[in-house]
Chain A
Amino acid sequence: MSHHDDYVQAPGKLITPVTVVLALLVAFAFAVAGYRFVTSIGAVSNLNDGYPWGVWLAYDVSIGTAFACGGYALAIICYILNGWKYHPMIRSAVVASMFGYALAGTSVIIDIGRYWNVYNFFVPSQWQPNSIMFEVALCVMAYTCILIIEFLPAVLEKLATFKDGFFKSMALFVAPKLDKVLIFIIALGMTLPTMHQSSLGSLFIITGYKLHPLWQTNFLPLLFVSNALLMGLSIVQFEVGLSSAGFKRPYEYEALEIARFIPFVGAFWLAIRVISLVVGGKIGYLFTSGFHSAMFWIETALIVIPIVMFATKLTPRKAFFMAMMLCFGGGLYRMNVYLVGFNPGDEWNPYFPSVVEFMLTYGFIALEVLAYIILSRLLKLLPKAHAAGAH
């Protein structure tokens, strides 16, 4: 949109100790991914036929895309709830979302055993439209494209500042046209996460009894989509806090206003969670399932405490730490559904990720952070600083 003056580049050099460490992690992950492709998935991971989905799908896809819902949450606030004054924060959120989703897709390709068949996904005659997994894959791919388009204005702005030549004339030609159609892209971009985030939950309805009763419920799609919104809102808090502290910029106090949505979304999620347990007759499992009951209570505490704290008076520091806790709680909920509560049968147990699986996931996280830092320093992504309380 045409609020170009709202954004600035982050200060600082591209090569710093932090970016170097991140780059090393990324390089290691790429080496690991390369090793996986020349050997096999069994050579690097602890996956088996009972656990075809390990930490790569549980973290990179399920939790990673929920972290990447910052763009989704902000888009809802800006465009549906008409919170236009929060719009300056959206670019950085979209960048984080873009990398979250793109890496989720990449992770799936690494995780697929017969990755050479993946081209079939682009052949409509090979589609199986009744499949939940197909819906997730299509939505994730489409949403990644949409995030890239949403991010394009920042790139075009940069290209327009180049000296005369092809890039500048192209940028000047494309930018106004993109500006006109962008609102439709954004509308589509708000539909897609709603669809596939709920499908990420539906995927585990169809695992039936393999998922522990504490998590197995027909409310899973609703729980996952509201959990995505909750995690999207908290990752915005986390991002604003970390970029303010990391780039040594003044804190964006609008973020604290956005945080007031968290108790409402959180209460909604909790209500559905409680209803699903009561209606399903699962209350007995809250205390009787040993390890699983403990995981349930840790997850619930990590979500309830920050939700309550967000309803009280907020300071930037408090919002940052509570958001961190909520990210953990929301992430743990997804981890519990995808791995902890999932039991395909004793002959496949136990599954615990190998070091290589961890390193690849770490590398992906490092890549997201690294890309965020580099792009913020190259392009105008961050909201322009202004005196606190000036708005």
Chain B
Amino acid sequence: MQEETGAKPPTVTPGRVVIALCLIAPFVALLWVSSYARVEPTFIGIPFFYWYQMLWVLISTGLTMIAYVLWRRDQRARKGGASA
């Protein structure tokens, strides 16, 4: 990715924007309580309020994993770019 040596890559890149979105999404979803404060639809008898938040444990785990992979790629590209 880094073709010209010596030039510093920009601080804000599309990859980094995606990382930021992945990390911010859980805050928006979970702090917006009125979006999920209801009983229906239930899941095996558990009200929406509870299973939705537990589902977010899995979603945010997935998002953090994406952020982690993208971040590693970003760092490798930068290090590679610096030494090339």
Q: Do A and B bind each other?
A: no
Which B residues are closer than 8 A to A by beta carbons? none
